[in-house]
Amino acid sequence: MRWIAVIFSFLLFHSVGFGFEPKAVDQLISTGDCPRCDLSGANLARMSLGAANLEGANLNDANLFGTKLWKSNLKSAQLKGARLSHAYLGGADLSHADFSDADLRETEFFKANLKGANLRGANLFRTGFQQAVMDDAFWPDGSRCLEGSWGECKR
């Protein structure tokens, strides 16, 4: 019986997240507008959040697996350790966003603005950057993309 309580507590803690504000999730879903919101650890997997305003939002450790964020504003957003594999961020403004240690496997950044973004330690396996602006972005190995990096990181 004690094991059931331990397992239940573990599942409850991990499903609730790491400190995000439930009202912020409701606000994002209902209005698409949640700048500087605390969504750290939130489960936003497979949602369709096109044209959302998440400028400066805290999405550290959030689950955004398969989420569609086309043309969204994530300028200066914090996405450290976030799970964005299979997400679509085409046309999104991700300038100065922090993706350090994020899971970006098979994520699509078609025509996204990644100027000055931090990708240090991120997993970029099969990640697409077709026509993405990548000037001054930091690559997973810590190197900086040169001016004129369009669709690939020129170092």
Domains and CATH numbers, the chain: 1-155 (2.160.20.80)
- 7 pLDDT band, cuts 50/70/90, is very low
pLDDT at 14 over 70: no
Average pLDDT over residues 142-149: 97
Give the model confidence (pLDDT) of 63-102 as tens digits: 999 999 999 999 999 999 999 999 999 999 999 999 999 9
- 19 pLDDT band, cuts 50/70/90, is confident
What residue ranges in 53-137 does DSSP mark as E strands?
A: none
Contacts for 102 with CB less than 8 Å, ≥ 6 apart: 79, 80, 81, 82, 83, 84, 119, 122, 123
CA 24 to chain centre: 16
pLDDT at 62 over 90: yes
Question: Residue 53 forms beta bridges with which residues?
Answer: 33, 73
- Phi and psi for 148 in degrees, rounded to 5? 85, 10
Q: Does the pTM of the predicted model rise above 0.75?
A: yes
- 150 pLDDT band, cuts 50/70/90, is very high
